[in-house]
Amino acid sequence: MKYMSAVILGVLVFTGVSLAQVGITIGVNVFNFKGASVFKFNPRTAASGGLYWDMPGDGFSFMPEILYSQKGATFSTSILESGVKIPVDATMRYDYIEIPLLAKYTLTTNSSFRPFLIAGPYLGILVSSALFESGTVTAGEDPITVLSDITGQQRIDYGLTFGGGARFDIGTNSFNVNIRYSIGEVAADKGELKNTGISIMAGFLF
C-alpha cells in the first residue's frame, strides 16, 4: 500500500510540475536553533535561493521548490590564551539542498495583485556543516578567524513551512514576494538542536 501511495504522489507531483511555469527565487534566511544547549544562540542571517514551479491561476495549486538554503545560529563564548580570556564570536553554519512541497491558495481579486497562503513539508539534505570562529587576541590587531568542519551531523532534515505573500501579474509572467516560517522536526546535531526560522523570499515566474 505504501508503494502505491508513493506512486500516486509521484504522478501528482509530476503532473503538477509539468503543467506549471518555472521561476527563480532568492531571499534571506533568519534562522536559529531550538532546543537545550549550554550556549545562548542568536539567529544566523544568510541566503536562500533556487528554482520553483507554480500555476499562474487562482485558487489551490501546488508549488514545489528546489533551494540552496543556509541555516544555523550564532553564539558568543571565550577561550583562554596564555592565561588571558579572549572573547570569541562563533557561527554554526548548516547549508542544505532543500525541497519544500508547498500547497498554495491564491485569492481572486480584480487586479494584478493576488495575495496567497502557502503551507507544506520540506526535505533538506545537508551539504556542509562548519564552525566559524572569530576573536581578537590583542586590542587594535585584526581578529583571528578559524573555519572548521563539524562532523557527525544529521544528513537529513525535514519539517513544516507555512506563510503567505502576494503575486503581481506582469503579462504572462509574474513577480511574487512571501514570508514563511519553518519548523525543523529533526535535530541537526543528532542531539537537541532543531533548525527554526523565517525566510523572506522574492521570485519571478517566467
Q: If you average pLDDT over residues 118-142, what whole number do you get?
A: 86
Q: Are 98 and 67 in contact (CB under 8 A)?
A: yes
How far apart (Å, rounded) are the C-alpha atoms in residues 190 and 106? 38
**Is residue 14 domain-resident?**
no
Computed over every residue of the chain, the mean pLDDT equals: 87
Asked if residue 2 belongs to a domain, the reply is no
**Count of beta carbons in the 10 Å neighbourhood of residue 79:** 12
44 vs 18, residue with greater confidence: 44
Q: Is the pLDDT of residue 44 over 70?
A: yes
**Residue 128, pLDDT above cutoff 80:** yes
Q: What does the pLDDT read at residue 49?
A: 98
Look at residue 1 and tell me if it is in a domain. no
CATH number for the domain that contains residue 37: 2.40.160.20
**Between residues 175 and 58, the one the model is more confident about:** 175
Q: What angle do CA 200, 201, 206 make, to 5 degrees?
A: 170
What was the pLDDT predicted at 1? Answer: 47
What integer is the mean pLDDT of 18-35? 90
Q: What are phi and psi of 86, to 5 degrees?
A: -110, 120
Q: Judge whether 10 lies within some domain.
A: no
The pLDDT, as a whole number, for residue 13 is 53
Domain count, the chain: 1
Q: Please report which confidence band the pLDDT of residue 175 belongs to, taking 50, 70 and 90 as the band edges.
A: very high
Residue type, 128: S
Residue 145 lies in a domain: yes
- Please report whether residue 3 resides in a domain: no
Domain limits at 131?
21-205
Query: Is residue 7 in some structural domain?
Result: no
Least confident of 117-121, 158-162, 176-180, 189-193: 189-193
